Structure 1
Amino acid sequence: MKIFLDEATWRKVVADFDITDIAVRDRNIVQLCLKTKMSNEDASQLLNEDIPSRIVTLFLDRAPGNNFGFQELQGMRYPSVGVSRAPFPRPSGLIVSRSSKGDVWPFGGGNGPMEFIAPDGGRPATRRLKCINGYTYSVGTGRRVYRRTAVGKWLRIDNGLPQTESSTAQGFSDLDAFSESDMYAVGGNGDVWHFDGAKWTQQGFPSNVELATVTCAGDGNVYISGEGGSLWVGNKSTWKRIYKGSSSILWNDVLWFQDKLWLASDYQFRQWNGKELVPVKHEGENVYITGHMDAYDGILVVASLDTVMQFDGKSWQVLVAPYPVS
């Protein structure tokens, strides 16, 4: 299978980095967040923000040699990558740092200037950037949710959330929505909240395990994943566990794509078939990829530390993969 990113470009742009996050801007533009590759021993001597970051953009409709762009960024602490779409003038990528102000660098639709989710140092503690109906949301620990309302402007959405000291028992690690008035945020120890467009309300949940993701799916259900890789389905305060996991890690991303629920972790790539979690297959063969995932505009992408694959609903394409040591 031909690799989209040619060997010379891979060695120049990707070879010395680990891929840590991925986002789809549209069906022709995929964004990668990278951190400089180093040993665990070397990394342990540095703060995460001292490890250089790189943004890579893949242009899937362009010819080799003209199908990528990249930027270096310094001081990005546990960065996440996301997307900004309409109502803004043009789509762009966003990369956010888990800093005290929540530094955000827009790129691709015009680069910079740096934005700050909480200019007063409110510690947004961003775990994810989610784009819903064009607006980008920052969701973070301490039950912090912000919406990007204009270029450089982020509004905290906290009506109904108690003003208490943050703790690891509280959310949020993920957010999803059917609409701006039907939104869910989860995290912490069974910490589930619903937003009706005006106010957050805490929901009952049948377990106090750590929660990782929430997905407002195309079948009208809400899916929540948590500790061990377990999976629940329901809405508001009515939930049923449909899968009891035994994994030592959480799902990174759970998405609805092509009328199926897709789940990706650092070690597994699965689909929920309505009865059980099964390996992802294509033409009878397992698809071997794990890591982080995103889907939009008819394509799904998955990124491990060194490989990126894309699925358009009919076929898989390898976008990035290691070439042999020369």
Structure 2
Amino acid sequence: MTPLLDENTWLAVFAGFEIIDIAIREKDVIQLGLKKQLSNEEASHLFDGQIPSRIVTYFPNRPLGNHYGFQELAGMHYPRIGVSRSPFPRPSGLISSMNGNGDVWPFGGGNGPMEQISPAGLFPGTDRLKCLFGFTYSLGTGRRIFKRTGIGEWVSFNSGFPHTEPTTAQGFSDLDAFSEFDMYAVGGHGDVWHHDGTKWTQLGFPSNVRLETVTCAGDGNVYISGEGGSLWVGNKSTWKRIYKGSSSILWNDVLWFQDKLWLASDYQFRQWDGKELVR
């Protein structure tokens, strides 16, 4: 089995850094976000944006020694990795910063210029960048959703949300869709919404625990994961908990692949076999 890394590449690209996020741009192009490893004492004296960030592009089909490229970026606060695809003329990786304007740096196939999700300083608070049907969405707390409609152009995607003071009880941490007319967003404390292509509508949900991921799966169901690693299945306002988790951490990603549901956290990698989570 061919290794993903040779020693020289490890030392040049990854040594002294930790992987904080990942996105698949294309089948043969993987994007990774890295932050420099610091001790708790060192990190306590710095803002997150002062800790060096590194963006890495991995080409799995290239020979060892020539299958990674990277660049350094400064001033990226709690960065998230995303991708840009067709219909945009230049597919690329994206890295966002959780600052007032929501800086976003496109890279790969040409770099920059820096974009801003909300130049008005509305603090998009990007927690996840999600690419669906060629368009990238920024998901943030307080039900903040922005859609990238052109290079350097992000528009608020909030039709239907009430004008209320943002709170941590509101979403969003994830977005998924069967189509542009059948989209789900989740987050906050049991905050679940559906978009029909025109506007968002809040859905009933049987729990007010913290929600983290939503997956529109190939079996026609919608899966939502939340606090403790629990898992719900359903659609619209009909939901059933199928797994009660007891973990102290959340699932980072829950994805449908090869007719199975795959769940990944910082410490676990599981499949849902229809009855239970298996290693």
Distance 2:65 2:261 in 1: 35
TM-score (norm 1): 0.84
Paired residue for 2:237?
Answer: 237
Match of 2:81 in 1: 81
Query: Cα distance, 1:256 vs. partner?
Result: 0.5
| Structure 1 counterpart SS, 2:228 | helix
Q: Distance in 2 between matches of 1:190 and 1:31?
A: 31
Distance 1:36 1:175 in 2: 29
The Cα of 1:64 is off from its aligned counterpart by 2.1
Once superposed, which parts of structure 1, at least 4 consecutive aligned residues long, lie more than 3 Å away? none
Residue type matched to 1:165 in 2?
Answer: E
Q: How far apart, CA to CA, are the structure 2 residues paired with 1:4 and 1:209? A: 38
The answer to whether 1:40 aligns with 2:40 is yes
Residue 184 of structure 2: aligned partner: 184
Q: Is 1:63 aligned with 2:63?
A: yes
Q: Kindly state the Cα deviation for residue 168 of structure 1 after the two structures are TM-superposed.
A: 0.8
The Cα of 1:90 is off from its aligned counterpart by 2.6
Q: Tell me, what secondary structure is at the counterpart of 2:172?
A: strand
Identity %: 72
> What is the CA–CA distance in structure 2 between the aligned matches of 1:109 and 1:82, rounded to whole Å?
15
Deviation at 1:32, TM superposition (A): 0.7
- Cα offset, 1:28, TM superposition: 1.0
1:131 matched to 2:131? The reply is yes
Q: Are 2:16 and 1:16 aligned?
A: yes
Deviations 1:27-53 (A, max 9, x none): 111111000011122112211111010
Partner AA of 1:239 in structure 2: W
Aligned length: 279
Please state how far the C-alpha of 1:65 moved relative to its aligned partner: 2.4
Cα offset for 1:3? Answer: 2.1
- In structure 2, stretches of 5+ residues that fail to align are none
Q: Secondary structure at the match of 1:10?
A: helix
Give the residue type in structure 1 aligned to 2:273: N
TM-score by length of 2: 0.98
Question: What residue identity is the alignment partner of 1:255?
Answer: L
CA distance in 1, matches of 2:37, 2:185: 32
The CA distance in 1 between the partners of 2:161 and 2:243, in whole Å, is: 30
CA offset digits 1:185-240 (Å, max 9, x no partner): 00111000001111000000000000010000011100000111000000111100
In structure 1, what is the Cα distance between the partners aligned to 2:15 and 2:55?
13
- Output the CA distance in 2 between the equivalents of 1:45 and 1:216: 41
Structure 1 counterpart of 2:204, one-letter code:
G
CA distance in 1 between counterparts of 2:142 and 2:204 reads 18
Partner of 1:294: none
In structure 2, C-alpha distance between the alignment counterparts of 1:149 and 1:207, rounded to whole Å: 34
Secondary structure at the counterpart of residue 171 of structure 1: coil
- Aligned equivalent of 2:145: 145
1:174 maps to which residue?
Answer: 174
Structure 2 counterpart SS, 1:110: coil
CA RMSD of aligned residues (A): 0.9
